[in-house]
A and B are shown apart, each in its own frame.
Chain A
Amino acid sequence: MEITSHGKWLQKITTALRKAARMWQVYVLLLPALLYVIIFNYVPMYGVQIAFKDYRVSKGIIGSEWVGLKHFIRFLTYPEFKTIMLNTMRISLKSLIWSFPLSVIFALLLNELDNLKFKKFVQMITYMPHFISTITVCGMVLLFFNRQYGVVNAIITGLGGERIDFLGKADYFDALYIGSGIWQGLGWGAIIYLSALAGVSSEMIEAAKIDGASRIQIIWYINIPTILPTIITMLILRCGHVLGVGFEKVYALQNPLNMEVSNVISVYTYQLGIGGGQFSYASAIGLFNTVINVTLLTIVNRISKKVSDISIV
């Protein structure tokens, strides 16, 4: 009885299995990468349970005791929690607000250059900082903005100004962080919009020109609407990283003097976990971070799908 009711279903599975067996070599090609993500991505996902446990090295991940939401509650009630969250979001949103539109504007302006050789040259130069490592960029920031030896202060005093302690004052942290980010990412971030701009219909532009449209009008009414889907897609992707402020740069630029504004989730996790050995607590913070990021990404994606019919999944 049961077999006949499931007959069709069973048949489907058998055909699929037979097909799979015939293609076994394709699975072999897939195997190394699959094993890799299982060992290096999925095993840690399984290990994330220590966020709900009191992890003891001697007892191992499975043997350690369950403690429920203890570590999450500890983090949420930690006096510094608010500061760390606000720092993370402030740095992230500020970088987004500054760097995101600048890359779009830069692409639009670059697209207006008639001299192709010059355009290529500008592109090549603006891609250059992208190939310099984060550490090097941070090293350059520290060198250039040094109060005593830095070239920026040399120029300021040369123009008759007072020396400014950029690195010693928390007020300048954001500007240095975001400014160096723009320097590194402006040209590279523009590539995707440039390629989208290549899809602008030249007939439409010709027609607009005949109608007497100005350059700015063409950019506003034709170019920007054409690349809008790309802009929105990139924006959604960026929203998935609102709490994912890059560890590397903050950690390199952080010092005791700017700690109050530069302490972000990823650095805090690192210092507690790797530095302090508080594995469970640090894992809980990490998990909290991931869940918020994924939630934000999903929400923004949904909204965008409803409003503009553009989504990433």
Chain B
Amino acid sequence: MKTKKTKMKRSRSNLIFDTVNMIIMLLVLVIMIYPIWFVLIASFSDPNAVSLGKVILWPEEFTLYSYINVFNADKIWTGYANTIFNTVLGTLWNLFLTIPCAYALSKKKLPGRGFIAMIFVITMYFGGGMIPTYLNIKNLHLLDNRMTLVVLGGLSVYNMIIVRTYFQSSVPQELFEAAIIDGATEFQQFFKVALPLSGPIVAVITLYYAVGRWNDYFTALLYLNDSKLMPLQMVLRDVLINNAALLNEIMMDPNASSEQITALAQQVYMAEGMKYAVIFIASLPMLVVYPFIQKYFVKGVMVGSLKG
């Protein structure tokens, strides 16, 4: 009798807990989705309707006008092309630096391993800082160079440690022993044994690096001036933060007729509308790709947490 009572009490409190939890989760979902949903509907709405606050849940006065404007802005496409260039070449460069190094440091018998590992780990906590780094890049003639964004950010020690942990824990050591008996050199052990088995972890860090490169603007802000070299994020910064015009504007003429002034006001609205379209176009590749790659990312976070 008594146990039945407590059981009922428990299931009732469980029900309350689950309901409250569900409400919280739905609230979180709305908070997460709404900003992105709003960008989408605003980009397909008439800019006037957006600025008057008419767009809340669905597109108002559906139009592709903002998109047509963005498609005509060369700046966006130059930025896109530069970002793709940097991301593809830069990520390959990352893999070239990270994987062999991680493999080498996974060799427990390597003389000097601890010392070399320390050389890398120190850079995680200590560095020259912004200005000495800038001067170094300047001395290397990497200011305003097409290869700057590819070369810089070449090695993330954090990612390297993730890969090293993988080599140590997930590749069976017996395979190496067998290869050594067969007379394999160290190179052969790396290329024929370790590398073919490292697919999952290579996927993880490729994505880490690629997303980081796609979204980076700081490096370009520091080291680039040439507008032809600017990556997408810098173009976005111009448009979204500094309010730079995407298309040529009518200059404000002191003798402007009332029609010209109306046209100018219209342009301000259009510029606002275009911002939503720009955000959507710039984020689209990541938003399309991430559901497929997120499980790899999650894996990376977990492997990374093992190192401690």
Does any Cβ of B come within 8 Å of A303's Cβ? no
Is there an interface contact between A133 and B283, defined as CB atoms closer than 8 Å? Answer: yes
Is there an interface contact between A290 and B187, defined as CB atoms closer than 8 Å? Answer: no
Please count how many residues in chain B sit with their CB below 8 Å of the partner chain's CB atoms.
Answer: 97
How many whole Å from A212's CB to the nearest CB in chain B?
A: 5
Q: Which residues of B contact A274 (CB under 8 A)?
A: 130-131, 134, 222
- Give per-residue flags for B269-306: 1 if the beta carbon is below 8 A from chain A beta carbons, else 0: 10010011001001100110011001001100110010
Is there an interface contact between A248 and B218, defined as CB atoms closer than 8 Å? Answer: yes
Given contacts A48-B128, A136-B282, A252-B237, 5 further A-B contacts (CB under 8 A): A32-B100, A37-B119, A109-B25, A125-B29, A140-B39
Q: Which residues of B contact A135 (CB under 8 A)?
A: 215, 217, 233, 236-237, 240-241
Cα A215 to Cα B11 with chains together (Å): 10
Is there an interface contact between A138 and B286, defined as CB atoms closer than 8 Å? Answer: no
Is there an interface contact between B283 and A286, defined as CB atoms closer than 8 Å? Answer: no
Binds B, one of A22-30, A72-80, A83-91: A22-30
Chief secondary structure at chain A's binding surface: helix
Known: A16-B111, A144-B38. A312 touches B308 (CB 8 A): yes
How many whole Å from A165's CB to the nearest CB in chain B?
A: 16
Does any Cβ of B come within 8 Å of A166's Cβ? no
Q: Tell which of B13, B276, B298 touches A214, judged by Cβ atoms closer than 8 Å.
A: B13
**What are 9 A-to-B residue pairs whose CB atoms are below 8 Å?**
A16-B112, A29-B100, A29-B190, A44-B129, A45-B128, A47-B128, A128-B290, A214-B17, A274-B131
Q: Which residue of B lies closest to A154 (CB)?
A: B53
Known: A139-B236, A140-B279, A155-B53. A269 touches B123 (CB 8 A): no
Chief secondary structure at chain B's binding surface: helix
Does any Cβ of A come within 8 Å of B87's Cβ? no
How many whole Å from B24's CB to the nearest CB in chain A?
A: 6
Cα A294 to Cα B122 with chains together (Å): 11
How many whole Å from B34's CB to the nearest CB in chain A?
A: 9
Please count how many residues in chain A sit with their CB below 8 Å of the partner chain's CB atoms.
Answer: 97
**Which residues of A in the span 97-145 have a Cβ within 8 Å of any Cβ on B?**
106, 109-110, 112-114, 118, 122, 124-129, 131-136, 138-140, 142-144
Q: Which residue of A lies closest to B307 (CB)?
A: A312
How many whole Å from A135's CB to the nearest CB in chain B?
A: 5
Cα A286 to Cα B152 with chains together (Å): 20
- Give per-residue flags for A228-247: 1 if the beta carbon is below 8 A from chain B beta carbons, else 0: 00100100000010000001
Known: A34-B116, A124-B291, A155-B56. A23 touches B217 (CB 8 A): no
Is there an interface contact between B56 and A154, defined as CB atoms closer than 8 Å? Answer: yes
Q: Which residues of B contact A32 (CB under 8 A)?
A: 96-97, 100-101
How many whole Å from B220's CB to the nearest CB in chain A?
A: 11
How many whole Å from A266's CB to the nearest CB in chain B?
A: 7
Cα A136 to Cα B36 with chains together (Å): 11
Is there an interface contact between B21 and A136, defined as CB atoms closer than 8 Å? Answer: no
Q: Which residues of A contact B282 (CB under 8 A)?
A: 133, 136
Is there an interface contact between A139 and B279, defined as CB atoms closer than 8 Å? Answer: yes
Known: A26-B186, A113-B21, A132-B286. A125 touches B33 (CB 8 A): yes
Cα A155 to Cα B236 with chains together (Å): 26
Binds A, one of B66-74, B102-110, B255-263: B102-110
**Which residues of B in the span 122-176 have a Cβ within 8 Å of any Cβ on A?**
123, 125-136, 140, 152, 154-155, 157, 160
